[in-house]
Amino acid sequence: MTTATPPRSAALAARLERLQAERAEVMGELFVSNGGDTADRATNVDANARLTLLEQRIATVEEEIINAGRQKTGSTGVSVGDVVTVDLGDGPEPYLFGSVEQAGDGMDVITQASPLGRAIEGAAVGTTVTYRTRAGRELTATVIAIS
């Protein structure tokens, strides 16, 4: 089994730490109160909603940390966690193929759910794919490298 590349692992670990700190801050905003006015209760509802979203984001990052260390299946194509160099027509540019939670450190992300992400997932180096944007434009991209 291989481990995730140190920069990717470090970025995920740092993101997890920031989310956990934010969760602790939100938990400090929560309070149990039998009284209070409508504004007090609204603040509590907002904090609970933020806490729920943070818990989901933390779970996603924790799963990505676990998966980052797993060996790629026999596929030589683009898969989640890869840094993929893609030429969108303006020259090669590196992207992380993963979730928005992994964004940072100057690395833009292509998500699996995006039109480009759906087109390049599984594509091998040298493959040119065609995809449609949400606006209906048809574009092409070439996978230059996968690391």
Query: pLDDT tens for residues 67-85?
Result: 665 555 556 789 887 889 9
With residue 83 as reference, give the H or E element that holds it: strand 83-87
pLDDT of res. 30: 76
Query: pLDDT tens for residues 34-66?
Result: 555 555 566 678 888 889 889 988 887 787 777
Tokens representing 2? 């291989």
User: Model-level pTM?
Assistant: 0.58
3-state secondary structure of 125: coil
Question: Mean pLDDT: which of 15-24, 33-42, 98-107, 136-145 is highest?
Answer: 136-145
Compute the distance between CA of residue 83 and CA of residue 97 in angstroms, rounded to an integer.
6
pLDDT of res. 121: 92
